[in-house]
Copies of this chain bind each other. A is one copy, B any other.
Amino acid sequence: MFCWLNRLYRGLSSPTGRTTQLIWGSLSRSLVLSSRRRIPEFSSFVARTNTCGELRSSHLGQEVTLFGWIQYRRQNTFLVLRDFHGLIQLVIPQDESAASVKKILCEAPVESVVRVSGTVISRPPGQENPKMPTGEIEIKVKTAELLNSCKKLPFEIKDFVKKTEALRLQYRYLDLRSFQMQYNLRLRSQMVMKMREYLCNLHGFVDIETPTLFKKTPGGAKEFVVPSREPGKFYSLPQSPQQFKQLLMVGGLDRYFQVARCYRDEGSRPDRQPEFTQIDIEMSFVDQTGIQSLIEGLLQYSWPRDKDPVVVPFPSMTFAEALATYGTDKPDTRFGMKKYLKRKDIESIRKVAADHFNQEVLPVFLKASRHWNSPVAEFILEKQSLELIRLMELQEEDVILLTAGEHRKACSLLGKLRLECADLLEARGVVLRDPALFSFLWVVDFPLFLPKEENPGELESAHHPFTAPHPSDIQLLYTEPEKVRSQHYDLVLNGSEIGGGSIRIHDAELQRYILATLLKEDVKLLSHLLQALDYGAPPHGGIALGLDRLICLVTGAPSIRDVIAFPKSFRGYDLMSNAPDSIPPEELKPYHIRVSWPADSEAEKSSLDHPHHPES
């Protein structure tokens, strides 16, 4: 269980993959030779000689000084000490001369912090614990010091104790001591470090910090506001450094990246955070293929050593194809599916379709006789059914779900039913979505615009207004803009969108036409960007990877909250510190704002429905 740390750190500075070899070719041999040195010095600058978890038989006879937490005690004879690196068994001295040491180690409550010195000895034959990496040895304690005594805990630290998430978040500093949280946060740190090495050291990207106190972006709802000292003027916390990264390209920085904090106020949404992190990248003089190769190399290089290596290039699929074949723009390509369904499953699927999507679904069961068993069978000509069998590559005992309706809506329904079927089958023990399998997919050729939901006669950007149109569709911009495809690309992993980007518009006139004429946005808000495009903006493009989601998928964590040290609850509360909090009116004065307290009972009622800690 505790071998993970060495595995995690072993990858450090020893790159893999194509790009790597260009730069590191001659180094790899030395790295392999000195592989034991690749683990960082965890005990530099402090008085410990070793971490608890690193001790092995090779340390036998060594005098060691350790710091750690008391994990548990057995019969006042053994004590298991824990640090971030692992567990080690201490032998509590029983002789009279060590009475004070014994007293400290026997009386300190569990989770107290101690410093011990002693000798690494072998465990008596037969008492080795093969499940523990340190299980062949133990420490014969000579001195001990109680550094901090622990009060009665609200829950046990051990991983197997089931806790509610609200309790875990309230006592986050205790939850962080768990194996899983230590692993998740260290893996995150490692992966980001390797991404930085790849971008900065191997490919000449410049890490540039951009402001988070910015201004409202056009159409940018969901932006937190920060009042300034000038009456009525507010900063906005941006959802991404989009404008800044483009301005950096205009500024000739050529290759930019940032592990960027972003903000989005979505109110209460499960598995979203008001602040989140993206690996933000922009390059000049690049095309879609260039960005895709860059990202494939980035993920390959930074992928944890304890997972199967990433295979590149990733497959690619157009948006139209993804919608038509998977019913979604983020297909989970780990499985093709649809077998093993029972008749009662089909009924439940038809019910889901009817209840949630108000749509009829017709199942077709293909029998050995090649005859269809379906309520719709009698309406389908034999020629049609043969064509369907050919198209769908149907095999005996297959089930088809048929529906009719507007293309996007019908596809989307079938896509959701596909996932529904996967749930049903996995509940029955059929492994369709192997958590150890990582299926990357590029989805490309998105539409540039979508009809506005509230007013389908008008257009809005499918992604953002800086996305460049597909070169083959430029002329359509002036005739049938709704048909224009974009140079946007999404990166999908196991059915989750983990990144998205595009080649941007670098021509000021085209940008003005799209903003003002097609989107009817107020161009004044973006005058600085439009002006920048006038002054020698290079062609450029980029991408952003959602770091929280990516790490969540890599670690197999059930929620992004498990890969963030101090996450907010789904209503945006910090259950540990109680943020957000009240501010006295006099402290709001310099910002020229006042609280508008909800006066009517309706509002009061709603505030009662949302007590302070709704999740606890």
Cβ-neighbour of A22 out of B41, B265, B564, B580 (below 8 A): B41
Residues of chain B within 8 A of A67, CB atoms compared: 284-285, 538
Cβ of A394 within 8 Å of any chain B Cβ, yes or no, is no
Q: Is the CB of A536 within 8 A of B113?
A: yes
Q: Is the CB of A41 within 8 A of B23?
A: yes
Q: Is the CB of B148 within 8 A of A213?
A: no
Provided the pairs A248-B565, A577-B214 are in contact, do residues A261 and B209 lie with their beta carbons within 8 angstroms?
Answer: yes
Smallest CB gap from A214: residue in B: B579
Provided the pairs A216-B583, A286-B45 are in contact, do residues A231 and B596 lie with their beta carbons within 8 angstroms?
Answer: yes
Nearest CB in chain B: distance from A178 CB, A: 9
Nearest CB in chain B: distance from A305 CB, A: 14
Provided the pairs A206-B189, A253-B84, A536-B111 are in contact, do residues A528 and B577 lie with their beta carbons within 8 angstroms?
Answer: yes
Nearest CB in chain B: distance from A8 CB, A: 11
Nearest CB in chain B: distance from A114 CB, A: 10
> Which segment, of A131-139, A424-432, A586-594, faces chain B?
A586-594
Cβ of A176 within 8 Å of any chain B Cβ, yes or no, is yes
A594 to B193, CA, bound (A): 43
Cβ of A47 within 8 Å of any chain B Cβ, yes or no, is yes
Q: Is the CB of B587 within 8 A of A225?
A: yes
Cβ of A455 within 8 Å of any chain B Cβ, yes or no, is no
Smallest CB gap from A589: residue in B: B596
Residues of chain B within 8 A of A286, CB atoms compared: 45-46
Smallest CB gap from A27: residue in B: B30
Smallest CB gap from A43: residue in B: B204
Q: Is the CB of A251 within 8 A of B581?
A: no
Which residues of A, 211-237, contact B by the 8 Å Cβ criterion? 211-216, 221, 224-237
Q: Is the CB of B148 within 8 A of A595?
A: no
Residues of chain B within 8 A of A151, CB atoms compared: 534-535
Provided the pairs A232-B582, A565-B248, A566-B244 are in contact, do residues A594 and B597 lie with their beta carbons within 8 angstroms?
Answer: no
Q: Is the CB of A182 within 8 A of B253?
A: yes
Cβ of A518 within 8 Å of any chain B Cβ, yes or no, is no
Cβ of A207 within 8 Å of any chain B Cβ, yes or no, is yes
Residues of chain B within 8 A of A287, CB atoms compared: 47
A225 to B591, CA, bound (A): 9
Residues of chain B within 8 A of A251, CB atoms compared: 172-177, 181, 565
Cβ-neighbour of A277 out of B209, B263, B576 (below 8 A): B209
Smallest CB gap from A572: residue in B: B228
Cβ of A337 within 8 Å of any chain B Cβ, yes or no, is no
Binary CB contact string for chain A from 521 to 544 against chain B (1 if under 8 A, 0 otherwise) = 000010010001111111100000
Cβ-neighbour of A211 out of B197, B254, B275 (below 8 A): B275
Provided the pairs A251-B177, A261-B261, A535-B150 are in contact, do residues A40 and B201 lie with their beta carbons within 8 angstroms?
Answer: yes
Residues of chain B within 8 A of A181, CB atoms compared: 251
> Which segment, of A289-297, A310-318, A353-361, A442-450, faces chain B?
A289-297
Nearest CB in chain B: distance from A381 CB, A: 53
Residues of chain B within 8 A of A283, CB atoms compared: 45-46
- Interface size class on chain A is 35 or more
Which residues of A, 528-568, contact B by the 8 Å Cβ criterion? 528, 532-539, 564-566, 568
A237 to B19, CA, bound (A): 40
Cβ-neighbour of A537 out of B113, B231, B294, B581 (below 8 A): B113
Residues of chain B within 8 A of A533, CB atoms compared: 148
Cβ of A119 within 8 Å of any chain B Cβ, yes or no, is no
Nearest CB in chain B: distance from A495 CB, A: 26
Which residues of A, 297-341, contact B by the 8 Å Cβ criterion? none
Smallest CB gap from A277: residue in B: B209
Nearest CB in chain B: distance from A259 CB, A: 8
Interface-centre pick from A48, A197, A525 (highest chain B CB count, 10 A): A197
Which residues of A, 61-107, contact B by the 8 Å Cβ criterion? 67, 69, 82-84
Nearest CB in chain B: distance from A94 CB, A: 26
Nearest CB in chain B: distance from A147 CB, A: 6
Residues of chain B within 8 A of A182, CB atoms compared: 252-253
Cβ of A598 within 8 Å of any chain B Cβ, yes or no, is yes
> Which segment, of A31-39, A371-379, A459-467, faces chain B?
A31-39
Nearest CB in chain B: distance from A405 CB, A: 35
Residues of chain B within 8 A of A42, CB atoms compared: 203-204, 254-255
Provided the pairs A233-B582, A275-B211 are in contact, do residues A26 and B22 lie with their beta carbons within 8 angstroms?
Answer: no
Nearest CB in chain B: distance from A214 CB, A: 5
Smallest CB gap from A539: residue in B: B147
Cβ-neighbour of A192 out of B23, B47, B207, B506 (below 8 A): B207
Residues of chain B within 8 A of A272, CB atoms compared: none
Residues of chain B within 8 A of A22, CB atoms compared: 37, 41
Residues of chain B within 8 A of A348, CB atoms compared: none
A34 to B188, CA, bound (A): 31
A38 to B229, CA, bound (A): 48
Nearest CB in chain B: distance from A614 CB, A: 11
Cβ of A185 within 8 Å of any chain B Cβ, yes or no, is yes
Nearest CB in chain B: distance from A22 CB, A: 7
User: What are 26 A-B interface contacts by the 8 Å CB criterion?
Assistant: A40-B200, A40-B204, A44-B294, A45-B203, A47-B287, A84-B254, A113-B536, A113-B537, A113-B539, A148-B537, A150-B536, A173-B532, A176-B250, A176-B253, A190-B200, A213-B568, A225-B227, A228-B580, A231-B595, A233-B581, A234-B582, A235-B579, A248-B565, A592-B598, A593-B593, A593-B595
Closest 4 CB pairs of A and B: A176-B251, A215-B579, A40-B204, A150-B536
Given A84-B254, A150-B535, A173-B247, 15 other A-B contacts at CB below 8 A?
A: A13-B201, A40-B203, A44-B294, A45-B203, A147-B539, A148-B537, A148-B539, A176-B252, A209-B277, A211-B574, A214-B574, A228-B572, A230-B580, A232-B583, A232-B595
